[in-house]
Structure 1
Amino acid sequence: MEKSNRELYKKNCRLMKENEKLRKKVELLSEEKQTLLSQLKQQISNGASNSKTDAPNNMIDLNLGLSLVSGSNQNPSSNN
């Protein structure tokens, strides 16, 4: 009986140590998750603000491109 109790005690000690290691690992992973999540949110908000400022520039470029194309199409017809 005493031998059995000692074995159970040792096993319990090992399990408690392993449990503590796992708790620390969970805490580190949770901190890493929070850091990555806040970085992702920051990138998303930066991307959204950049796309808002880039959108008008893209439209201007497209409009200039279309006017150049339509202008080049008008010149040959005026030569005919």
Structure 2
Amino acid sequence: MERLNSKLYLQNCYIIQENERLRKKAQVLNQENQALLSELKQKLSKGNSKGNPPSSIPDLNLCSTSASNPNQK
């Protein structure tokens, strides 16, 4: 039983480390996404000031339907 507990403890430690690594990676990707979205909005606003029709850019942070309703397929 003690050996099983040790094995599960080590697996848990590995999962925690992997989760932290993935969380940091997700943070970096989110920051890159926000920077690119900001750049795109700036370019579009410059284009709109030249007489181009306005276009809306959706907020990608609001589009996570799977997290808000996991039972929907």
Identify the residue that residue 28 of structure 1 maps to in structure 2: 28
Give the Cα–Cα distance (whole angstroms) in 1 for the partners of residues 41 and 9 of structure 2: 48
Paired residues for 1:1-80 under 5 Å: 1-50=1-50, 52=51
Q: State the superposition RMSD in angstroms.
A: 1.4
CA distance in 2, matches of 1:38, 1:19: 28
Read off the aligned partner of 1:3 and give its amino acid letter.
R
| Gapped regions of structure 2 (runs ≥ 5) | 52-73
Structure 1 residue identity aligned to 2:12: N
- 4+ runs deviating over 6 angstroms: none
Partner SS for 1:33: helix
Flag the structure with larger Rg: 1
Q: Following TM superposition, by how much is the alpha carbon of 1:30 offset from its aligned partner in structure 2, in angstroms?
A: 0.7
Q: CA deviation at 1:48?
A: 1.1
Task: Judging by fraction of residues, say which structure has more helix.
Answer: 1
Partner secondary structure for residue 26 of structure 2 = helix
| TM score, norm. by length of structure 2 | 0.67
Post-superposition CA distance 1:29-76 (Å, at most 9, x none): 1101110010000000011112x2xxxxxxxxxxxxxxxxxxxxxxxx
| TM superposition score normalised by structure 1 | 0.62
Identity %: 51
- How many pairs does the alignment contain? 52
Q: Which runs of 5+ in 1 are unaligned?
A: 53-80
